[in-house]
Amino acid sequence: MSHILTMIAQRLALGLVTLFVVSLIIFLGTELLPGDFAQEILGQSATPETVAALREQLGLNDPMHIRYLGWLTDIVQGDFGESLANGQSVAGLIGGRLVRTLQLASYAAAIAVPLSLVLGILAALFRNSFFDRFANASALSSISFPEFFVAYILIFLLAGANGAFPSTAINISRGDPNFTEYLHVAFLPALTLTLVVTAHMMRMTRAAIINLLSSPYIEMARLKGMSPMRIIVKHALPNALAPIINVVALNLAYLITGVVVVEVVFVYPGLGQLMVDSVAARDMPVVQGVALIFAGAYVLLNLTADVLATLSNPRLVHRR
Amino acid sequence: MSDKEVLLTIRDLRIEGRADEEWLEIVKGVDLTLHKGEVLGLIGESGAGKSTIGLAAMGFARDGCRISGGTIDFDGIDLRSASEAKRRGLRGKRIAYVAQSAAASFNPAHKLIDQYSEAPVQHGVMSRGEANNDAVELYGKMQLPNPDEIGFRYPHQVSGGQLQRAMTAMAMACRPDLIIFDEPTTALDVTTQIEVLSAIRDIVEQFDTAAIYITHDLAVVAQMADKIKVLLKGEEVEEADTRTMLNAPTQDYTKSLWAVRSHARPEQPPIEAGTTPVVSVKGVTAGYGTLDVLKNINFDIHARRTVAVVGESGSGKSTTARVITGLLPPREGEIQFNGQTLPADYRNRTKDQLRQAQMIYQMADTALNPKQKLRELIGRPAQMYLGLNGKALEERVRNLLDLIELEPDDYIDRLPSELSGGQKQRIGIARALAAEPQFIICDEVTSALDQLVAEGILKLLDKLQAEFDLAYMFITHDLATVKSIADEVVVMKEGVVVEQGPKSEMFQPPHDPYTELLLSSVPEMDPDWLDKLLEERAAGGAGAAVEGAGN
């Protein structure tokens, strides 16, 4: 097992390097934006003197590398700076939103992952049957529509006057709903996200399994008189796990970082909304903070996927 | 035999395979009768339909195949009309299968013992605990090391010969009435093959199991079968009990199979003292990472001579070839070519040095670019090394096709997929010749081919050697090939040369104990050969000293 731990440590270190590179890109990216932050904050009517004073106060006159190092040192210590728009701490702003985003992502994942695995397995079992084609066609059409369109269709069908679910999640930011209330209020956003990510995971599960069905060990299982279901679940699936895990991780990362549109449609108080608002307001410390969190989520999920994929392969876990 | 009850009756079996949207008959009306406890050997070249018939005996057809006619009656059950569920109930329980490559046929995700107990538990024959105990007992019977513990390993943690025995044990799990053995020892080294053969034979006798033993190796089938059926292109040639078949085959095709190993190269005059060898391997030590795969290897290869490098898998034969071609620079030692030292790395060798040493590979299938026509495949080295172009190049390619006995007009614009296995290997030879080398490395060039086809390739290589004064290094694990083609033999084991010398000395005692083990392990056509050998080894002769080397 020690080589697994070594691998995890190596991947973690590599992840840190990735995050460092990402931080550099984020910083340089915001530097490249045209215009002057102090000018933007104070508006067109500000006098040159006040702009100069603000520049001084924000440290914008320092050379770029000094500011980058300062920013990075603060972040390493957990200090993401203060919002330019309202002076609140960025960490505080992100913190609450991050929890909400993670809640929604887990909610959607809890529906989407089991659903797509089961559908993928069934599609592989009944391959080329009507069920297979139907599952494929519906999954494909649901990702072919833009997310907001899927969201509005769901609102039309499930919310509104006679609908069972609220069409907006705005109540979440107003009060602190308990668990069942949350499930009810966030159902439509979670369902929209489910429809968006299911197709990818389902089709990969199906393809990864079918890919193995011509293997000699599958033929052996058939010649041992095993049932088709058992062959898929016990003989093909364990060997197909690595690609499936990777696709699941990719989609989970999307659930955290790619949900801007859905959050806006449902007025859900998550990170995506915060990002959009901050970009509009040129609130750079917040944009940078959120971008780093997104990068961190990607790195962490892919790391987890790598480790799980390794653990699913006895050849890598149990050396000769 | 025939006083026993009939177990399996196949009448007028027809099986079709699909090729390009068309169903072609690949088994054309074969009859087969098997009594309880009887072992039938099915032999024939590739494409004879052996495996297809073996699987049909389980009521099974591979994807892309279908059983289109005839009857298959297993112990009163009509397998063709039985429901899929009923057939599933028989498979693994009353009819079991042992595949050619155990390494590929064990599921890499599960431990051996779990795969063993799967059939008995799922078919309701035993509980899991009983099956596990039973597995340990059978592993012991199959002479696997540490039978108590070996089942708890994953397939990749167990060697090829052990896996093949574990698979036979697995087939026995439900104590079936019939086992189909589909080339169970073809992928193994000769020394390992003996252990697997004797273990299979013991266990089949012990449980009085009937078996269909499929192989292309006559000497192997002679040890295993009570009667032999010879197949050719999906049709039966003849069937007789083993001794009759070996001593008095009636059909011409069978006789030709029996006579296959007749090609023998005439003895070459001894090399004059002081001649510079074409290739000289001097004190080579090489390896991967920190591991030394080769340890101080020395041998010479002269013009118009064939040196056979023999050994089991892992002995370092192919690594030696990689060192000579410069793909793997050695840690110590050097390669000399006509007396001059070659740069260790092929990237530092001149074009002319590269041209002089060519290779022919085992799998002609994968060594030829499937998208290129023969014109390009053969023409490319001639163009690159000799600078031929246009008409001269075309002339050269036609010339080479003539040399390998393929009609140029007919073949020059074909793709590799339009050739048979033997023809592809001929293209490999032509491609090597196109560079006009002095030295060719033949890496197991005949092991993937049927015997008659392999014979043709060996004859061609002999003819070309005489014509162009070539020096050959012939890598092989098959001692029969060595006998027919080599002038000198180098025996390797675990990266060391254990014995080397002229062929005539090599096949005469006294031998190095390892050479003795290798030589005595080559199956012979005598049906009593295995019994005699095992007796001799038990008594301490015939390489018993290094027994188990192939494990």
The segment with the largest mean pLDDT, out of B12-21, B103-112, B269-278, is: B103-112
**Average pLDDT, rounded, for chain B:** 85
B107 reaches A (C-beta below 8 A): yes
Instruction: Please give the residue of chain A at the shortest CA–CA distance from B123.
Output: A225
pLDDT for B321-352, tens place per residue? 989 998 888 888 899 998 888 898 888 889 88
Closest C-alpha among A157, A153, A126 to residue A142: A153
Per-residue pLDDT 10s for chain A (320 aa) are 677 888 888 888 998 999 999 999 988 888 787 766 777 777 777 788 888 887 777 777 778 888 888 888 888 888 888 877 777 888 888 888 888 899 999 999 999 999 999 999 999 999 889 999 999 999 888 888 888 898 888 888 888 767 788 877 777 777 777 888 888 888 899 999 999 899 889 999 999 999 898 889 999 999 999 999 999 999 999 999 999 999 999 999 999 888 888 888 888 888 888 888 888 877 888 888 888 889 988 899 998 898 898 888 888 887 76
Count H helices and E strands in chain B, helices first: 23, 20
Are A222 and B91 inside 8 Å of each other by CB?
Answer: yes
Which residue of B94, B100, B107 is the best one to mutate when testing the A interface, meaning the one whose CB has the most A CBs within 10 A?
Answer: B107
In this predicted structure, the answer to whether residue B548 has a pLDDT above a threshold of 60 is no
pLDDT for B410-424, tens place per residue? 888 888 888 888 888
pLDDT for B519-535, tens place per residue? 888 887 777 888 888 88
Q: What is the pLDDT of residue A35?
A: 67
Closest C-alpha among A320, A25, A270 to residue B158: A320
User: Do the bridges between strand B439-443 and strand B357-360 make them parallel or antiparallel, or are there none, so unpaired?
Assistant: parallel
Cβ neighbours of A238 (radius 10 Å): 16
**A243 three-state secondary structure:** helix
Contacts of B109 in chain A (CB under 8 A): 235, 238-239, 312, 314
pLDDT for B446-471, tens place per residue? 877 777 788 888 888 888 888 888 99
Instruction: Please give the residue of chain B at the shortest CA–CA distance from A317.
Output: B154
Q: Distance (Å, rounded) from C-alpha A291 to C-alpha A295?
A: 6
Are B108 and A214 inside 8 Å of each other by CB?
Answer: no
Residues near A210 by beta carbon (within 8 Å), at least 6 away in sequence: A124, A127
- Gap from A227 CA to chain B (nearest CA, Å): 8
A76 burial level (CB within 10 Å; 0-12, 13-18, 19+): exposed
Residue type, B282: K
Q: What is the pLDDT of residue A206?
A: 92
pLDDT for B295-330, tens place per residue? 899 989 988 889 999 888 778 888 899 899 988 888
Contacts of B96 in chain A (CB under 8 A): 223-224
Which residue of A128, A212, A214, A217 is the best one to mutate when testing the B interface, meaning the one whose CB has the most B CBs within 10 A?
Answer: A217
Sheet architecture: strand order including B6-19: B22-35, B6-19, B65-74, B77-78
SS (H, E, C) B354-397: HHHEEEECCCHHHHCCCCCCHHHHHHHHHHHHHCCCHHHHHHHH
Are B107 and A239 inside 8 Å of each other by CB?
Answer: yes
B90 reaches A (C-beta below 8 A): yes
A314 reaches B (C-beta below 8 A): yes
Q: Which of B91, B92, B105 sits opposite A217 (nearest CB)?
A: B105
Q: Which residues of B39-70 are buried (b: 16+ CB within 10 A; e: fewer)?
A: bbbbbbbeebbbbbbbbbbbbbbeeebebeeb
Q: Distance (Å, rounded) from C-alpha A244 to C-alpha A240?
A: 7
In this predicted structure, the answer to whether residue B220 has a pLDDT above a threshold of 90 is no
Q: Distance (Å, rounded) from C-alpha B199 to C-alpha A138?
A: 55
SS (H, E, C) A113-163: HHHHHHHHHHHHHCCCCHHHHHHHHHHHHHHHCCHHHHHHHHHHHHCCCCC
Give the position of tokens 């876990």.
A317
- Gap from B83 CA to chain A (nearest CA, Å): 13
Contacts of A216 in chain B (CB under 8 A): 99, 101, 104-105
In this predicted structure, the answer to whether residue B268 has a pLDDT above a threshold of 80 is no
Closest C-alpha among B453, B432, B454, B431 to residue B441: B432
Cβ neighbours of B312 (radius 10 Å): 21
Q: What is the pLDDT of residue B259?
A: 67
Are B93 and A225 inside 8 Å of each other by CB?
Answer: yes
Q: What is the pLDDT of residue B542?
A: 58
Give B52's Cβ-side CA count (13 Å radius). 28
Model-level pTM?
Answer: 0.78
Average pLDDT over residues B91-96: 90
In this predicted structure, the answer to whether residue B547 has a pLDDT above a threshold of 60 is no
| Token output for A315 | 């050849």
Do the beta carbons of residue B61 and residue B72 sit within 8 Å? no
A214 reaches B (C-beta below 8 A): yes
Rg (CA), chain A: 24
Are A225 and B122 inside 8 Å of each other by CB?
Answer: yes
Sign of CA dihedral B72, B76, B78, B84: negative
Are A219 and B105 inside 8 Å of each other by CB?
Answer: yes
Q: Between residues B196 and A121, which one has the greater pLDDT?
A: A121
pLDDT for B99-155, tens place per residue? 888 888 999 999 999 999 999 999 988 899 999 998 998 888 888 888 888 889 898
A95 reaches B (C-beta below 8 A): no
Average pLDDT over residues B280-293: 85
Average pLDDT over residues B64-81: 87
Q: Which of B101, B118, B157 sits opposite A318 (nearest CB)?
A: B157
A315 reaches B (C-beta below 8 A): yes
Q: Between residues B424 and B508, which one has the greater pLDDT?
A: B424
**CA distance to A140, A142, B354, per residue, from A203 (Å):** 9, 13, 49
Average pLDDT over residues B174-183: 90
- Gap from B97 CA to chain A (nearest CA, Å): 7
Contacts of B157 in chain A (CB under 8 A): 318, 320
Average pLDDT over residues B371-378: 89
Q: Return the H-helix or E-strand segment holding B66.
A: strand B65-74
According to DSSP H, which parts of chain A are helical?
A: 2-32, 37-42, 48-58, 64-76, 90-125, 130-144, 147-158, 170-174, 179-185, 187-212, 216-223, 228-230, 237-257, 260-266, 271-280, 284-311, 314-317
Contacts of B154 in chain A (CB under 8 A): 314-315, 318
Residues near B295 by beta carbon (within 8 Å), at least 6 away in sequence: B285, B495, B496
- Gap from B106 CA to chain A (nearest CA, Å): 5
Contacts of B58 in chain A (CB under 8 A): 223
Contacts of B51 in chain A (CB under 8 A): none
Q: What is the pLDDT of residue A119?
A: 93
pLDDT-derived band of residue B261, with 50, 70 and 90 as boundaries? low
List, in order of start, the domains of chain B with CATH numbers. Answer: 6-253 (3.40.50.300), 279-508 (3.40.50.300)
Q: Between residues A192 and B289, which one has the greater pLDDT?
A: A192
In this predicted structure, the answer to whether residue B2 has a pLDDT above a threshold of 60 is no
| Token output for B389 | 């172009």
B96 reaches A (C-beta below 8 A): yes
Do the beta carbons of residue A273 and residue A221 sit within 8 Å? no
Q: What is the pLDDT of residue B549?
A: 39
List, in order of start, the domains of chain A with CATH numbers. Answer: 2-76 (no CATH), 98-317 (1.10.3720.10)
Closest C-alpha among B183, B391, B446, B308 to residue A216: B183
The segment with the largest mean pLDDT, out of A216-230, B237-251, B279-293, is: A216-230
Which residue of B58, B98, B105 is the best one to mutate when testing the A interface, meaning the one whose CB has the most A CBs within 10 A?
Answer: B105
- Gap from B107 CA to chain A (nearest CA, Å): 5
Q: Which of A224, A312, A315 sits opposite B118 (nearest CB)?
A: A224
DSSP A61-86: TS-HHHHHHHHHHHHHTT---B-TTT
pLDDT-derived band of residue B550, with 50, 70 and 90 as boundaries? very low
Chain B, 20 to 59: residues with Cβ < 8 Å from chain A are 55, 58
